[in-house]
């Protein structure tokens, strides 16, 4: 069952900066403003984040909405990222989506891999 969570119960968050970037990418590609965050095995630390534009919300997804943009996370990935914030960060080293994950025991220098 799809769960739309309000901020008092929200299990995952999308920052305004990330929402703005997703909206811009989705508009250029002619897709819905919907970002899917998934966790896969692999990476330097055991798990890695995967981002992609989503076409639809699946029945087992949890969603968070910010500024009209939807963040979509499947229930299995949610167990590893619950309480996280997805942000879009621009720095001298480049720009990227970044997950601030309170469940991660360690991470790697690239910021896309973590362990629990």
* Residue 107 pLDDT: 61
* Residue 56 pLDDT: 94
Q: Listing from the earlier edge strand, what are the strands of the sheet with 12-14? A: 12-14, 84-91, 94-100
CA distance 107 to 19: 24
| Domains of the chain as residue ranges with CATH | 3-111 (2.60.300.12)
* Residue 4 pLDDT: 46
* Residue 112 pLDDT: 54
- Dihedral of alpha carbons 77, 83, 88, 92, sign: negative
* Residue 96 pLDDT: 87
Q: What is the pLDDT of residues 70-99, one digit of tens each?
A: 999 999 999 999 999 999 998 887 888 989
Q: Which residues of the chain have pLDDT under 50?
A: 1-8
Q: Let me know if 65 is exposed, middle or buried by CB neighbors in 10 A (0-12, 13-18, 19+).
A: middle
CA distance 5 to 65: 8
* Residue 84 pLDDT: 93
* Residue 9 pLDDT: 57
């Amino acid at each position: 069952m799809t769960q739309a969570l309000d901020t008092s119960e929200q299990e995952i968050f999308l920052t305004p900066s990330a929402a703005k970037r997703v909206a811009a990418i989705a508009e250029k590609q002619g897709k819905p403003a919907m970002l899917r965050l998934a966790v896969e095995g692999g990476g330097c630390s055991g798990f890695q984040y995967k981002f992609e534009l989503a076409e639809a919300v699946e029945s087992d997804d949890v969603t968070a909405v910010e500024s009209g943009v939807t963040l979509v996370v499947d229930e299995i990935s949610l167990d590893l990222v619950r309480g996280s914030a997805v942000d879009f960060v621009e720095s001298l080293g480049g720009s990227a989506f970044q997950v601030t994950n309170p469940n991660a025991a360690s991470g790697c220098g690239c910021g896309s891999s973590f362990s629990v």
